[in-house]
Amino acid sequence: MSVDSSVGGIQSLVDEALVEIGGAESSRDIEQARVRFLGKKSALTKQLKRIGSLPTQERRAFGQAVNDAKQLLAEKIAERAVQLDRWEQDAALTSGWVDVSLAGRRAGTGCLHPVSRTIRRIHDIFRRLGFDVAEGPEIEDDYHNFEALNIPPDHPARAMHDTFYVEPGVVLRTHTSPVQIRYLKSHPPPIQVIAPGRVYRSDSDATHTPMFHQVEGLVIDKDIHLGHLKWTLETFLKAFFEREDIVLRLRPSYFPFTEPSVEVDVGWQDVGGRRVLGGDGDAPGHGWMELLGSGMVNRRVIEFAGLDPEQWQGFAFGVGVDRLAMLKYGMDDLRAFFDGDRRWLDHYGFSPFDQPTLSAGVGAKA
Is the pLDDT at 305 greater than 50, yes or no? yes
Per-residue pLDDT tens digits for 227-257: 999 999 999 999 999 999 999 999 999 999 9
Report pLDDT for 160. 62
Give the pLDDT of residue 173: 93
Read off the pLDDT of residues 204-220 as tens digits, 9 standing for 90 and up: 665 667 889 999 999 99
Mean predicted lDDT score pLDDT of the chain: 84
Mean pLDDT to the nearest integer, 262-269: 93
Mean pLDDT of 18-22: 87
Structural domain spans, the chain: 7-95, 114-348
User: How far apart, in whole angstroms, are the C-alpha atoms of residue 282 and residue 268?
Assistant: 9
Task: Tell me: pLDDT of 158 over 60.
Answer: yes
The HSE-up count of residue 11 (CA atoms within 13 Å, CB side) is: 3
The per-residue DSSP string of 92-114 comes to HHHH----TTSPPPPPP---B-H
Q: Which of 42-56, 60-74, 230-244 has the highest mean pLDDT?
A: 230-244
The pLDDT score that the predictor gives to residue 183 is 93
Length of the chain: 366
Q: Which residues lie below 8 Å from residue 25, measured CB to CB, with a gap of 6+?
A: 84
In this structure, are residues 117 and 356 in contact, taking their beta carbons and an 8 Å threshold?
Answer: yes
pLDDT reading at 58 higher than 50: yes
Average pLDDT over residues 327-343: 82
The stretch 343-350 carries a mean pLDDT of 81
Bigger pLDDT: 60 vs 129: 129
| Residues 3, 7, 9: CA angle, nearest 5 degrees | 30
**Are residues 10 and 66 in contact, defined by beta-carbon separation less than 8 angstroms?**
yes
Q: Quick check: 30 pLDDT over 50?
A: yes
Q: What are the strands, taking DSSP E only, across 177-307?
A: 191-200, 211-221, 248-255, 258-271, 274-277, 286-297
Which residues are within 8 A (CB) of 91 and not within 5 positions of it... i.e. 6 or more apart?
A: none
Portion of the chain with pLDDT greater than 70, in percent = 89
pLDDT surpasses 70 at 38 = yes
**182 or 4: which leads in pLDDT:** 182
pLDDT of residue 329 exceeding 90, the answer is no
The domain 114-348 is placed in CATH, from the list 3.40.50.300, 3.20.20.30, 3.30.930.10, 3.30.450.20, at 3.30.930.10
